[in-house]
Amino acid sequence: MAPRMAASVCCSFVLFLFLLVCPVLSNIFPISFSRNELLDIRNSTPDNFLPTFEHSDVLLDILVGGAAFLYKRSKRLKRGKRAGALVKFRQRGFRTPLPSIHLANLRSLANKSDELQLLTRTNKDFLNSAALCFTETWLNGTIPDSALHLTGFQLIRADRVTESSGKTRGGGLCFYINEGWCTDVTVLNKMCCPNLEAIFINCKPFYSPREFSSFILVSVYIPPDARASVALELLADQITHTEQRYPDSFIIVLGDFNKAHLTRELPKYRQHITCPTRDSNILDHCYTVLKDAYHSVPRAALGLSDHCLVHLLPAYRQKLKSAKPVVKTVKRWTVEAERDLQACFELTDWSVFEAAATDLDELTDTVTSYISFCEDMCVPTRTYLTFNNDKPWFSAKLKQLRQAKEDAHRSGDKALYKQAKYTLNREIRVAKLNYSGKLKKQLSRSDSKSVWNGLKAITSYKSLSPSPEANQQLADDLNEFYCRFEKQKTGLTPCTPPNCPTAQPSTPCPSIPPTVSQPALKICEGDVCKVFRKQKIRKTKGPDGVSPACLKACAVQLSSIFTLIFNRSLELCIVPSCFKCSTIIPVPKKPKTTGLNDYRPVALTSVVMKSFERLVLAFLKDITGPLLDPLQFAYRANRSVDDAVNMGLHYILQHLDKPGTYARILFVDFSSAFNTIIPDILQNKLSQLSVPTSICQWITSFLTDRQQLVRLGKLTSGTRTISTGAPQGCVLSPLLFSLYTNDCTSKDPSVKLLKFADDTTVIGLIRDGDESAYRQEVEQLSLWCSRNNLELNTLKTVEMTVDFRRKPPALPPLTIMNSTVALVDSFKFLGTNISQDLKWDIHIDSIAKKAQQRLYFLRQLKKFNLPQALMTQFYSAVIESVLCSSITVWFGAASKSDIRRLQRTVRTAERIIGVHLPNLQDLYISRVKKRAGNIIQDPSHPGHNLFALLPSGRRYRSLSTKTSRHKNSFFPNAISSLNR
């Protein structure tokens, strides 16, 4: 291709020179011929004088290709074409999604007015900036606004008040608002005190994204000698009050904060200035609630100012452009459609299917295919286009009115535009009121699911779930990766004797052939109908094509045939093949994936089979519940993650009260734990737990010869058959894994092994530096994993040391499988951030940030004038649930300042709703008492023995504590609360 392109260029260039030179030479040396001389020349010229082109199209291609290449070479790219945010700002001008801002600490504005005038004439970026924010203007009443005027800008200033600040000089704030961006500017508030100066202005620009009604700019100056904590509390209160008054406005807080950080009081706000503003320090800050909203660029300082000028370029992308419109096709489950489908199944003679089928697989396939066919014929579908910023109350009528408003604006008729704008705003208010009334009716019907969906639609609440790119090769690779344990299981069929997980050698498990006998479990039609009626209609249908909406609508009509299938499956100890098919949906574990292990395999299985599993699950729990490890806290009644964390902390704190002690905590991580279960090993362990033989064989059939494929968007991989593991997404998988690891326990009393499903934690209670028992148990755990096909992920397995001795020596590292375990200062254990000093700052910061972010949704509900009861319900479900997450674990030992920060969120919610809300202290006491009461009533709970009654029978014996950290933990606080 390159030689041909070169030839094209050369030929075109030669032809161009020839055509250019010939006319010139002809004018310099003119030659004239008569008509007879020209005729003689033609007759005397031989026929083969001119060349003959056999491939004329080649010559044409060469000429056209060369001309096109020369044209492209002549058209040069503009400089800075790929420069990013700055080029986009220059291209869009004042139509950027966020305003571009120049920020600086001037140290006297009057001395720099001439330089500012020069910048507006010579620097286009400065001239096209939407706003200029300056701190330390050093202005007073003797300097008029006319002396500070900038052409094309509107000045808003807030000079320092001597009576309020106690200072006679310095300070002062000001904004210059570009009139090409906005002329509707309102001053909302001015603050001036010894610790803080601030000004709030509301700007309604000519252009803004639909998600923002206006922009509230806040200029802040915190003096170097100010009390930063007091200043931040005052500023946070004012910002919270402004958010409540203007819930649709976008707040931008910027200025000179010196050493203060707003994220301490308002964790949801993010700081965007990353370049040093004074020497090597970042003293000027810009805060918004959006991630990556601005890109900061340092500029030369103005005059003799010791702060550089910072250009804030908008990097935010509005919602409409952040995602493409989605075409959705849904089924419309109307009353008529449900009646037609029910009538279809009522007229169906299911005995015909039973008589025509030769085995259970054929019967099940025929029935599910018939149900899917009837559903497609009776239930209509609807296809519609959805946008990222759609609102549920924005109807077709409002779209017409909005179009009429835009047409009136283009026509230039001011009276018509004013009338169209008024009509649109009126109809929007009516639509919002109608939608709020609809939600009130749903609430009165106790339809919590519909209410929650409506609340999410109003508040635009969308859970961010990153989706992988559709790639055929990636789908095939993921399917191969998820089946990697199938290759490794060859020859691995050991059984583990009870109560001795690692000491005894493994013996082969004999496989028991399925037999037709009286099953241990008999399913009745009423139970099947009850399970079908509990289906969630918005769940996706499985590979068999039967949707949960169909099962729920036709539970009475379908329960008989499926009861027959379920009981025959239990009699034959065989699970139908179509019930074992699964479609794996890879869910990214983090926003940016780097390998195949960053995708979590979630299985999309048959909805009918899930109902079948729930019936078997209840039977298994009744049998195995009393035999489970007491330190297994997952999938058991009266157990939770709080119990697991509280028990672990109790073991540690009680041990650390003794002199010369410390604790080592090993957080174990398994690689795809659910995918490593060997059915033969599980069958032997179930038999040892007194599970009937027929159920053991049925579970083995459930886990073997499963067909799976991976789906990425519209692409699917090839089908693979596996006989290892329990799919993530099945109802039985969590309990089966708990039973599979039930014999993995610790023998030494100084080592505690806590389990919550596949989250395993080893706590070594070490005294006088003797770690032999702890290291031996870790070694035994490693051996147990290798014998039971579980793979330890040594890269994610970490260790944390809790040691409060005055001069703790360096501890020897822990090694697992020739790999040194990494030491960490903090770890997120079952949703709770635990640090090695057993303080809760990190955890409280995270929940405070999350709770403040969710206050935005509450403000959106306030706009719809929803009743206080509904908003209180939303607060309890969305905000209070975050504040009280694992509150029994950390609240008793939290500092007063951290509690005040969390309580500020509660007070803000009270102002928004207008009712009194329970404070965190009352919630903590009530939950501690409730949790303690449940533990007392459960003798199998590992913490039950800690609640011992005194001889009087009215009070409980207090636990012996020697440190405040132990005294403020859950169990001592619970006993104290019960004794009051």
Q: What is the pLDDT of residue 327?
A: 81
CB atoms within 10 A of CB 883: 22
User: Who has greater pLDDT, 565 or 169?
Assistant: 565
Residues 6+ apart with CB under 8 A from 83: none
C-alpha to C-alpha distance for 254 and 132, rounded to whole angstroms? 11
Q: What is the pLDDT of residue 73?
A: 55
HSE-CB at 970 with a 13 A cutoff on CA atoms is 27
C-alpha to C-alpha distance for 193 and 226, rounded to whole angstroms? 10
Q: What is the pLDDT of residue 853?
A: 82
Q: What is the pLDDT of residue 273?
A: 94
| 653-662 pLDDT, tens digit each | 999 988 889 9
Q: What is the pLDDT of residue 651?
A: 92
Reported confidence tier of residue 504, pLDDT bands at 50, 70, 90: very low
- What SS3 string covers 696-732? HHHHHHHHCCEEEEEEECCEECCCEEECCCCCECECC
- Tokens representing 122 are 């010579």
Report the share of the chain in percent with pLDDT over 70.
84
C-alpha to C-alpha distance for 216 and 203, rounded to whole angstroms? 6
Instruction: Give 523-577 as a DSSP string.
Output: --HHHHHHHHHT--TTSPP-TT---HHHHHHTHHHHHHHHHHHHHHHHHHT---H
Mean per-residue pLDDT, 15-39 = 56
Q: What is the pLDDT of residue 503?
A: 33
Q: What is the pLDDT of residue 211?
A: 82
Q: What is the pLDDT of residue 511?
A: 39
Helix/strand number for the chain, H first, E second? 35, 30
Our measurement of the distance from residue 6's CA atom to the centroid of its chain's CA atoms, rounded to an integer in Å, reads 53
CB atoms within 10 A of CB 640: 17
Q: What is the pLDDT of residue 496?
A: 40
Q: What is the pLDDT of residue 451?
A: 63
User: Who has greater pLDDT, 71 or 745?
Assistant: 745
Q: What is the pLDDT of residue 463?
A: 56
- Tokens representing 621 are 């729990």
Element (H, E) at 157: strand 153-158
Give me the helix-helix angle, 2-28 and 56-74, nearest 10°.
90
3-state secondary structure of 826: strand
Q: What is the pLDDT of residue 805?
A: 87
Residue indicated by tokens 């159920």: 695
Mean per-residue pLDDT, 136-142 = 90
C-alpha to C-alpha distance for 184 and 417, rounded to whole angstroms? 18
Q: What is the pLDDT of residue 197?
A: 94
Range of 314-328, 367-381, 592-606, 862-876 with top mean pLDDT: 367-381
- Tokens representing 294 are 């601005």
Q: What is the pLDDT of residue 970?
A: 92
Residues 6+ apart with CB under 8 A from 772: none
Reported confidence tier of residue 116, pLDDT bands at 50, 70, 90: very high
Mean per-residue pLDDT, 507-536 = 70
Strand partners, 709: 583
The phi and psi torsions of 966 (rounded to 5 degrees) equal -75, -40
Reported confidence tier of residue 513, pLDDT bands at 50, 70, 90: very low
C-alpha to C-alpha distance for 316 and 385, rounded to whole angstroms? 25
Reported confidence tier of residue 1, pLDDT bands at 50, 70, 90: very low
Mean per-residue pLDDT, 222-235 = 90
Question: Is the pLDDT at 283 greater than 60, yes or no?
Answer: yes
Mean pLDDT of the chain: 83
| 202-224 pLDDT, tens digit each | 999 988 888 888 999 999 999 99
Q: What is the pLDDT of residue 70?
A: 55
Contact 96, 89 (CB under 8 A): yes
Say which amino acid occupies 202: N
Lowest mean pLDDT: which of 202-211, 276-285, 725-734, 743-752?
Answer: 725-734
| 620-674 pLDDT, tens digit each | 888 888 888 888 888 888 888 999 999 999 999 999 988 889 999 999 988 878 8
User: Who has greater pLDDT, 447 or 617?
Assistant: 617
User: Who has greater pLDDT, 604 or 458?
Assistant: 604
User: Who has greater pLDDT, 60 or 627?
Assistant: 627
In order of 413, 418, 419, 428, 865, the CA distances from 423 in angstroms are 16, 9, 6, 9, 21
Lowest mean pLDDT: which of 324-338, 503-517, 731-745, 833-847?
Answer: 503-517
Question: Is the pLDDT at 845 greater than 70, yes or no?
Answer: yes
| 905-962 pLDDT, tens digit each | 999 899 889 899 999 999 999 999 999 999 999 888 999 999 999 988 889 999 888 8
Give me the helix-helix angle, 607-624 and 525-533, nearest 10°.
120
Q: What is the pLDDT of residue 509?
A: 37
For residue 668, give the nearest of 788, 537, 525, 794 by alpha carbon. 794
Q: What is the pLDDT of residue 166?
A: 83
C-alpha to C-alpha distance for 182 and 339, rounded to whole angstroms? 58
Q: What is the pLDDT of residue 445?
A: 58
Report the share of the chain in percent with pLDDT over 90.
31
User: Who has greater pLDDT, 742 or 32?
Assistant: 742
| 529-562 pLDDT, tens digit each | 999 999 888 788 888 889 999 999 999 999 999 9
Q: What is the pLDDT of residue 222?
A: 93
User: Who has greater pLDDT, 267 or 958?
Assistant: 958
Strand partners, 711: 716
Question: Is the pLDDT at 859 greater than 70, yes or no?
Answer: yes
Q: What is the pLDDT of residue 926?
A: 92
Contact 549, 533 (CB under 8 A): no
C-alpha to C-alpha distance for 267 and 849, rounded to whole angstroms? 4
In order of 224, 348, 534, 600, 757, the CA distances from 528 in angstroms are 71, 19, 10, 31, 28
C-alpha to C-alpha distance for 971 and 932, rounded to whole angstroms? 8
Q: What is the pLDDT of residue 499?
A: 37
HSE-CB at 72 with a 13 A cutoff on CA atoms is 6
